[in-house]
Chain A
Amino acid sequence: MSGGAGGLAPVRVERALGLLPDLEVLNPLRALLVSISRPDERTMWSSSGPYLTLGKRGVQPEELRRHLPPLLHSIAGHMRGLYDAYAEALECQQRSDGAGAAAALVKAGRSEEKVGRLAQALTWYETALAIAEGLQDRRPELGALRSLGEVCLALGRYTEAARHFQRSLAISEAEFDQASAIIACDRLGDAALAQSEWAGAEAWYGRGLRLAEGARDARGIGRLERSLAMLARKQGDLTTADIHLRRARALVESVGAADAMAQVLNGQGQLDAQLGRHSAAYATYREALAWAQRAPRDAGLEVSIRLNLAELQLETGRFLEAEAELRRAEQVAIAENLTSRLVQIYTLMGKLRGQQLDDTGFVFFEQAIELSRALERSPAISARVYVEYGLFKNQLGQHEEARGYLERAREIFESLGEAPDVERVESELQRMSA
């Protein structure tokens, strides 16, 4: 990295973040800081190069300053959008146009979602729902419920999400809105799947599939077939998963939806890997990446494919390639400020070092924990990192620390009521004692 004004060395991200108070209003600045950070070129080939994490990247204050006007401009634009939406809702209220008011509030929520402010979006949608519920026309209510359900899913509030989608399904059926009913079933399946309620998920996906088939909605059928495949894979029924994925692939390819194709292939790759069809899995992930590049930019999807690919490379002992893939994923995640993905990336990097019996790999787990603290849903994410950290320490023969990390993970999972995870940690602890 070239020196900044007066040739001064860049400030490390770990130090730069240490100077930034933990205030919600400063989140855009935090995101900017991360996205403009660069690795120091001098460290690229140094012995610390392979251990480079976000915290060790550098930021030039003058570069940050250069980026401030466009950032402030976009923040002002966002705020203007919210204020305008409110003014629009007020005007609608004045005209007794409740549907218009609800639509304006939902628009504000969408705008919050786009910039990653999910909790704020939720509040806008709740306000919109309160207005929509009093209307004779049920469509605004349907819109608000769907938006609420989606944001609750994204926030990991699955029970709440299921409640919203159940109401939206009832309304869509009453209003003969087939497309909304299909989406509601799919999302109800997702909520059930996330809570390990296999039978419930299967019932919702099945119902959605029947509706989509009745409506000859190829895209919808493809999406539901993919959901059913995911469910079958989680249940360990790989043959059924394979059948669903093949159907999904044929349908999605026929409608030429690049993003959906990338998602289907990502799932297919995971299945191939699980079935031990490693060459097929490699080819499928590569093809998924190619489709993802053709689709409208979805950094989250790209990182997900790269993470799966890296995991496969790790599993098959192709460490060099796994590292390169993880570094590519890291680049995308940093540029797009995908913190939760960065946590996954660093956890996998740590795991990679563990397989090479390299104890300096602990730096990746430390970075992952540090980042997960900054996330809204941090406890469960941190706990997953602690589990891998514990296994890493155990691999290196550091049993006391290994046990410490696993116990910490168990505590967190217990406090969150995540029974399957508690069970998994318990069995790891027992294996360690044996």
Chain B
Amino acid sequence: MLRVLAVATEGAAGVFQNIKQWAAQADVEFESVPELPLAVRQLAAARWDIVLAVLGEHADGDLAWWVDALRGAAGSPRLIVAARRPSMGLALRAERLGVVDLLTVPLRRDDFERALGRVRSAASEVPIPLPEVKSDAVGQYMLVGQSAAMLEVYKLMARVAPSAATVLIRGDSGTGKEVVARAIHLNGPRAARPFVAVNCAAIPENLLESELFGHEKGAFTGAVARKIGRFEQAGGGTLFLDEVADMSLALQAKILRAVQEREIERVGGGETIPVDVRLVAATNRDLKEAIAQGRFREDLYYRFAVVTIRLPRLAERGDDLSLLTAYFARQFAERYGKRITAISDNALDLLRHHNWVGNVRELRNVIERATIVATDEMLRAEHLPEELRGEERALPDRPQGALLTLAEVEARHIARVLAHTSGQIGAAAEILGIHRNTLTRKMREYGL
């Protein structure tokens, strides 16, 4: 049962008359006080889940006072505010200050129940500690993952890295092709030399040639100075050509010549320059289909595909998702000066059931955003983007893709009961039907 403390000063106590009736039907324990000093006393005397404050004439000042007053209050009550004529500015400030909802006086039952619903759903989320990402889960290639699909990738990388062979990395968008290319370089004989990456799809077609081979000053409009191309920059090291399917046929011919002859010419320059690079190419397209359609040169394909590594989609990587989530959450928490230790069960369910079109890159993005907006140490469902939260209703009661272990179910249930008893171990042990010491031990074990 939620405990609500309602505070209306300036003779506005009448606004709560209806709420008393609604509260009884909504399984809410409701108490109202007519003045601030009494409210302060009540806050100190008992634990409240929600404070419902009616703002007075100086709504902005009242709002700031309440946000301040509830900081550090026992039980961390959530704040719902109501105002007679809420302005847009007030609504924006309330949202920024983490107020659950801003209601309009006279209060409407639907609005009140919606606000209660928001508090209930946030309160029912159970924290799941983020797993440690140990060094063996990262390994020598600095890739996070222990799934069988990734182990296959590691084996292939181990065979190819020490050689000088050209490698073609295939995989959907966001599966980590550049990370793999870098790992191959760093674990190969050219590790001390540069690793230069070129994204062929990002660069305008008319500039790609000069980007790869360089140009002399004045070679074309905009060539304000001599430019050393990426082939030369990568001298002695590795040149990573990403999204090679996007290159024009004319440029493919020039790349082929550079690979075969091991020499290039800068745009607008007559000099032939020898180059020594290891090529690693990557694509998210089907190059064989592109060859069949006449959009990709077959001879260049065979030059690239001396060894082919296929990267699995995130969906094929089992519980690597949890490891990656933990890894990114810690990485971004450090970057943004925060501490994230857990993720809520709802949030994790949403992550597990999302269709990760953008694979690891999309997950990384989602966790970065969640870390930025998180207000405490737990990533919650509400911190995830709208498109993921929209999938909440479609979640089955039990996850189908990733079934929970018995320990996970037990941890969640214990956390739920502890939330219900506001952290009182004795009461929780009684509900769970176990000894207090057993509960304490399990709490330690599950990091609750």
Contacts and interface: CB of A to CB of B under 8 A. Distances in A.
Interface of A: 14-15, 42-52, 55-56, 283, 286-287, 290-291, 294, 318, 320-321, 360, 363, 366-367, 369-370, 400-401, 403-405, 407-408
A46 B224 contact: no
Contact of B88 (A294, A318, A408): A294
Contacts, number: 93
Interface of B: 88-89, 92-93, 96, 173-174, 177-178, 198-207, 217, 222, 224-227, 242-243, 246, 284, 357-359, 361-362, 365, 368-369, 372
Nearest to B206: A14
A404 B225 contact: yes
Nearest to A265: B89
Q: Which of B89, B207, B358, B368 has the most CB of A within 10 A?
A: B89
Given A363-B202, A367-B204, A47 B359 contact: no
B372 A320 contact: yes
B89 to A, nearest CB: 6
Contacts of B365: 320
B92 A283 contact: yes
A49 B359 CA distance: 13
A405 B203 contact: no
B207 A46 contact: no
Contacts of A45: 173-174, 357-359, 361-362
Ranked nearest first, the 6 interchain pairs of A and B with the lowest CB-CB distance are: A45-B358, A404-B224, A404-B225, A51-B202, A48-B201, A46-B173
B204 A403 contact: no
Contacts of B202: 47-48, 50-52, 56, 360, 363
Contact of A400 (B225, B284, B359): B225
A403 B173 contact: no
Contacts of A369: 222
- Looking at A42, A45, A370, the one whose CB has the most chain B CB atoms below 10 A away is A45
17 contacts: A44-B173, A45-B362, A47-B201, A51-B202, A52-B202, A56-B204, A283-B96, A286-B92, A287-B88, A320-B365, A321-B372, A363-B202, A363-B203, A367-B204, A401-B227, A404-B217, A404-B225
A294 B88 CA distance: 10
Contact of B207 (A47, A366, A407): A366
Given A47-B243, A47-B361, 10 more contacts: A14-B206, A45-B358, A46-B173, A47-B178, A55-B204, A290-B88, A318-B372, A320-B365, A320-B368, A404-B217
A47 B242 contact: yes
Main secondary structure of the interface of A (DSSP, over half): helix
From A14, A48, A291, A370, residue with most partner B Cβ within 10 Å: A48
A46 B204 contact: no
A48 B224 contact: no
A8 to B, nearest CB: 11
A84 to B, nearest CB: 42
Contact of A360 (B177, B203, B217, B224): B203
Given A320-B372, A360-B202, A405 B224 contact: yes
Nearest to B95: A286
B366 to A, nearest CB: 11
Contacts of A55: 204
A45 B364 CA distance: 11
A413 to B, nearest CB: 15
A43 B201 contact: yes
A56 B174 CA distance: 19
Given A14-B205, A321-B372, A407 B224 contact: yes
B367 to A, nearest CB: 11
Nearest to A370: B204
Contacts of A403: 225
A128 B75 CA distance: 73
Given A320-B369, A369-B222, A46 B89 contact: no
A434 B177 CA distance: 41
Contacts of A320: 365, 368-369, 372
Contacts of B93: 283
A294 B357 CA distance: 35
